[in-house]
Amino acid sequence: MYLGPCVRGNGNQKKWASQCRVYLPMDASLIDKTCKQTPNYDVCVSTLNSDPRSTGADVKGLGLIMVDAVKDKATGALNKADELLKQSPGDQALLSCVKTYNEVLQNDVPQGSQAFTQGDSKSAEQGHE
């Protein structure tokens, strides 16, 4: 068993035990095994380990956590692109970004969520084509 970070600040301030993350070996093993099947192992492991829902999650749960992470990142990128577009109206690169992130949020995220919910990880992996 691994106790996640339970010290903050300069190391003298302890978090309450309820704020510590406990990683059971099977959780780490499933995350490792799952992430080895992805194109970016390090990002996958980092994303799943940073989400408390991953503790005790099955493959379906890990997939849904990743869909949520994609949604959050895409939303942030879309908001930033929209903000920059206000400063540079008509910028083709920014317009392309906005289009791409809108497609991710409108198509890929819902499809991935539905596929993982239904246990169809292959469809979730393929995304909207």
Judged against a pLDDT cut of 90, whether residue 12 lies above it is answered with no
SS3 assignment, position 5: coil
Whether residue 11 is contained in a domain is answered as no
In a domain, 115, yes or no: yes
Q: Which of 25-34, 90-99, 114-123 is the most confident on average?
A: 90-99
The Cα 35–Cα 46 span in angstroms is 10
**Any domain includes 10:** no
- Rounded to whole angstroms, how far apart are CA atoms 46 and 39? 14
Instruction: Determine, yes or no, domain membership for 29.
Output: yes
Q: Within a domain: residue 56?
A: yes
Predicted confidence (pLDDT) at residue 19 exceeds the cutoff of 60: no
- Measured distance CA(16)–CA(90) in Å, rounded: 51
Q: How confident is the model at residue 1 (pLDDT cuts 50, 70, 90)?
A: very low
Taking Cα atoms as reference points, which of 36, 37, 48 lies closest to residue 4? 48
- Note whether residue 15 is domain-resident: no
Cα–Cα distance, 60 to 66 (Å, whole number): 10
CATH code where residue 39 lies = 1.20.140.40
Instruction: Please count the structural domains in the chain.
Output: 1
pLDDT of 35? 94
Residue 1 included in any domain: no
Count of residues in the chain: 129
Cβ contacts of 115 within 8 Å, gap of 6 or more: 121, 122, 123, 124
Range of the domain at 58: 24-122
Whether the full predicted model's pTM is greater than 0.75, yes or no, is: no
Within a domain: 66: yes
Residue 110: band (very low, low, confident or very high) from pLDDT cuts 50, 70, 90:
very high
